Structures are given as structure tokens and as C-alpha cells.
Amino acid sequence: MTATTYTARPIGPAALKQLRDIDDAGRACVPYTDQEGGAPLRCCLRPSGAGERIALVSYAPLRRWAAETSAVPGAYDEQGPVFVHAEECGGPAAAGGYPFARSGALRAVRRYSADGRIAGGRLLELPDDPTAGFDAAFADAFADPDVALVHVRAVEYGCFQFEVRRA
């Protein structure tokens, strides 16, 4: 497997603190014990383990990025469900790698400009080497100087997976 060229970013600690209280749809967080495990946690970019306390919350990644940068995403501001630990966690265990990457998985790779507008996207079927597939998709996206960040979403449910920003 090749080393990653870009950094997958989890949901940041400040946003997680807010989401564990009230999510981006204005609903209270309702933690539960994950009996089976396998939920894709966006706080630490790994699957949950059986018995972990998690929550399913509504998250608006572009809205939160826009608040940091003064961008105005307009109609491109969307929110959707993500799993997070119910309590504070240490974030990703190790730097590097792309989470939730398995050969054959379908991902939408959406590009956004610095003003928060969608700047294109593509469907990516992860190849036998998912790292190389993501690296190529991100290189293609960031070849456009207007692209400021990329969101990766699962095609099956449309769920936000992770974000990559221009270095």
C-alpha cells in the first residue's frame, strides 16, 4: 500500500463538543450503546467497536468550514447524519491513511471553492489500492487552483466521510 499524500480531517473538537449537545439540525444528542460495532465514527475516523457509546447527529461540514473562513455556501450548505463518540475521544489514533476505504466502495468526491460554491465533483470507485485511488482523485481536484477543499461522501447513503483541505 502506498503512503497517503493528503490528510483526511476528522470533525474537530470544538464542533464535536457542540454536536454532543445540540446538532446542526437543532436536535439534542441522544447517545446509545452500539451493540454490534461497525458505525463509521467521524470523530476518530474508524469504525466503532461493540459496546461503545456513540450518537448519530446531524452535521453541516460546509457550514462549519464557511464560518471559519467567511465563505458563503448558499444553497450548497447541507447537513446529514454522522456517527460520533458520545463522549470526548482522542481523535484518530494515527496520522495518515484514508478512513472507511475498501476496494470497490463508491465515493462522491465533491470540490468546493474558497467562497463555498461547489466546483465540481466525481464518482470514485475505490480500486484495489484505495490509497492510490484517493490520492489520484485529490490530485485531480486540487489541480484546479480554485478548489479550496474536498468532501468525500459515501454514495450508498450520501453520508459525509471526511474532508481534505488544500495544503
Residue 6 lies in a domain: no
63 shares its domain with 117: no
Domain that holds residue 111: 106-165
Q: Is residue 8 part of a domain?
A: no
Domain closes at, from 85, 117, 147: 85
pLDDT tier at 88, thresholds 50, 70, 90: very high
Query: Is 64 within a domain?
Result: yes
What's the pLDDT score for residue 1? 46
Domain count, the chain: 2
Count of alpha carbons within 13 angstroms of residue 145, beta-carbon side: 0
Q: Tell whether the model's pLDDT for residue 148 goes beyond 70.
A: yes
If asked whether residues 78 and 17 sit together in one domain, one would say yes
2 has a pLDDT exceeding 60: no
Contact 28, 21 (CB under 8 A): yes
Residue 129 lies in a domain: yes
Confidence of residue 99 (pLDDT cuts 50, 70, 90): very high
Asked if residue 25 has pLDDT above 70, the reply is yes
pLDDT, tens digit (0-9, with 9 covering 90-100), for 117-137: 999 999 999 999 999 999 999
Residues 39 and 72 reside in one and the same domain:
yes
